[in-house]
Chain A
Amino acid sequence: MVNLIWVFLAVSGIVYAMFNGTMDDVNEAIFESADEAVMLSIGLISVLVFWIGMMRIAEEAGLLRGLANLFKPIFKRLFPEVPPDHPAMGYILSNFSANLFGLGNAATPMGIKAMNEMKKLNNDSKAASRSMITFLALNTSSVTLIPTTVIAIRMQYGSVSPTEIVGTTILATSISTIGAICIDRFFYYRRIRRNQ
């Protein structure tokens, strides 16, 4: 699926440029964006090194397990294939809490660690497990309490009330998250029916 999307984006762009007369822009975009991607990855190094280092200490100190215990009832149902006291659960919860507070750059390293642990639980298979799909569904719908970037932009353009959209954002994000979980469940049970 991702192969098809990737090829579609590039091929349709190049073919479109042939007729649209934007080949110059495409040519420039290829090299500029490659540069941009390298800068982005290098930029990620600082965040990843810092937060994974910190989280390793938190893990050894038993903080992740404590956090996992706190939210166990809800997340045990969301992730039935992850044992509640497994480190994966701790990372899932830290990722969720970081997203909740709008700490996107702290959420990513924890999310990657969570995926790593879930891969181990799935016998190191290269296919996505049920828990991984649920986890991604949670992340793409991103539950955020404080949309910091948006508030900053609104302030920059002289909004009378920059935080006015906090309430509507929380409501919209909650609905999309609940929707994501329902859709995730729907596809899971469809997979099971097909395999029977």
Chain B
Amino acid sequence: MMSMITTISTWIIPFIILIVLIAGTIKKVPTYETFVEGGKEGIQMAISLLPFLLGMIVAISIFRASGAMEGLVALISPVLQIMGIPSDIVPLAAVRPISGTAALAVTTDLIKEFGPDSFIGKLASTMQGSTDTTLYILTVYFGAVGIKKMGDALKVGLLADLIGIIASITICTYFFGF
């Protein structure tokens, strides 16, 4: 099972490239020149993204370094515990939508602390894999194309995270038990 998954994930990218290049050649696309043209666009995107990412990352790291994030977690812990969320997993649930690197750090820490095959370890793994960092996605996608008014996007993203967290806990409790 594991070796199959590793094989698939190492083969898939070269395979996509192979298909694209062969299809391009058959359809008589000037492949190399088209690639370069597209690449130029990529540089512009990365540069225009920089201020959006920098602004958001600095604000998040101030929030983290000051200890305010821990404070927030301590503050909402009781509420989340009433909802049946195990207290050890609370920091991960709180951090997941805000910062991808912080969430990954918390997940790694939990797996190290409780062991990968413990209930908390499996729950943390499921939670980490089942949603993405809403704030990062919003910053990158809206930032890169210059969308100023986000509409309901943030609310939708955060509520979806909440559903993901609750779903992870319910499913893991059902399949792995305590």
Q: Which residues of A line the B interface, CB within 8 A?
A: 1-2, 5-6, 9-10, 12-14, 16-17, 20, 22, 25-26, 28-30, 32-34, 36-38, 40-42, 44-45, 48-58, 60-63, 101-103, 106, 108-109, 111-112, 115-116, 119, 126-128, 132-133, 135-137, 139-142, 144, 146-151, 153-154, 157-169, 171-173, 175-177, 179-180, 183-184, 187-188, 191
- Specify which chain A residues have a CB less than 8 angstroms from the CB of B159 in the assembled complex: 179-180, 183
**When A and B form their complex, what is the total count of cross-chain residue pairs whose Cβ atoms lie within 8 Å?**
353
Residues of B in contact with A, size category = 35 or more
CB contacts (< 8 Å) of A55 on chain B: these are 20, 38
**Contact, CB under 8 Å: B29 / A136:** no
In the complex, the answer to whether A60 meets B24 with C-beta atoms within 8 Å is yes
New A-B contacts (17) at CB < 8 Å, excluding given A6-B55, A109-B45, A141-B132? A9-B60, A17-B67, A44-B46, A53-B37, A57-B38, A58-B20, A128-B149, A132-B142, A140-B133, A153-B111, A162-B2, A165-B125, A168-B171, A172-B126, A172-B127, A175-B164, A176-B163
From DSSP, what is the main secondary structure of chain B's interface residues? Answer: helix
5 inter-chain pairs at a CB distance below 8 angstroms, sorted by A residue, are: A54-B20, A132-B141, A149-B128, A153-B116, A154-B125
Give the Cβ gap from A27 to chain B, nearest Cβ, in Å: 9
In the complex the two chains form, is A48's CB within 8 Å of B160's CB?
no
Is B84 part of the binding interface, using a Cβ–Cβ cutoff of 8 Å? no
Q: Specify which chain B residues have a CB less than 8 angstroms from the CB of A13 in the assembled complex.
A: 59, 62-66, 68
